[in-house]
Amino acid sequence: MTSPTSTPSQLQQLKKLTTVVADTGDFERMEEYQPQDATTNPSLILKAAQQANYQALVHQVKSAHPGMKPVELVDYILVAFGLEILKIIPGRVSTEVDARLSFDTEATIQKARHLISLYESHGIDRNRILIKLAGTWEGIQAAKVLEAEGIHCNMTLLFSLVQAAACGAVHATLISPFVGRITDWHKTKLGSNWSDAIHGGANDPGVTSVKRIFHYYKHFGIATEIMGASFRNTNQILELAGCDLLTISPELLGDLQKSTAVVEKKLDASQAASALASEQISPLKLDESSFRLQLNNDAMATEKLAEGIRNFCIDTDKLELIISE
């Protein structure tokens, strides 16, 4: 712990500007950083489930449901990790719906209700759970139904303003724009022409994407929370200080805790109107055909959304294999 007279760490400074969220399934590591909320996804749970210190938890779930198929057991594993995380954090945990349902609205709704029922069977209030859904048209329509039922949604795999605007239109509780993955795409596209001096910092493509969404939301009075996600370095995090929430890996939380450099507020809702005027953003058309066309015309968002869903599907398959063994 830092004494009252010592210089506060960047993590302490950031917490005064932004709600800090731990992005991990490794709940034993998050305690020292004292985050408000925590997020998980199939890849993070797969990573944690393969660690020796979590084998007992996986076996405990299997023993409690003898004969249950791995495809069904996955939900119980996800919730088991979520329950442990909720013992550590004061806020909410995000639990993801099977990515293989990303293009099936009704199946997504049923899966979300099932996950909530599992948490509630352990006495957890649904207000402490965020159900993660892919930012597809089908996922967004599922969120519309679920939010009306008091099931709060975290819209993930979000790479574009049109996805963000559509999520806001259905009153999703929270969106998770993927900063690092946006930057990855642009770095690959530019290849040897990429320059950290030119394309990094405030000009980082992932950072500017979240800023644009932030300005759009605040200007048009959209209540949906914005949580920057998928960071590659602390510079990306610090450029978004002032965002509603930021979900950060334990490794980067550690880096922020070690540094005492000054953290400045970079996003301010009061400046959204002037920022929008300079960017010339007007309300987007959000019917299904308009949404699909705008998303289709954004090569980066289309490719990263498809890739993200594919990878989560692969890791869910791997998690089922581990459970079956």
Could you tell me which residues come within 8 angstroms of residue 200 by beta carbon, excluding any fewer than 6 positions away? 235
Beta-sheet strands, E only, within 3-107: 19-23, 37-39, 93-96
For 121, the token pair is 């069977």
Among 234, 238, 242, 230, smallest CA distance to 206 is for 230
Residue 132 designated active-site: yes
Q: How would you classify residue 176: left for phi > 0, otherwise alpha for psi between -120 and 50, otherwise beta? A: beta
Strand-pair partners of 229: 178
First to last CA, the chain: 42
Helix, strand, coil % over all residues of the chain, rounded to 5: 60, 10, 30
Task: For 60-75, give one letter per residue: b (16+ CB within 10 A) or e.
Answer: ebbeeeeeeebeebbb
Among 178, 165, 185, 87, smallest CA distance to 132 is for 178
Q: Give me Rg for the CA atoms of the chain.
A: 19
Which of 132, 187, 211, 218 is an active site residue? 132
| Active-site annotation, residues | 132
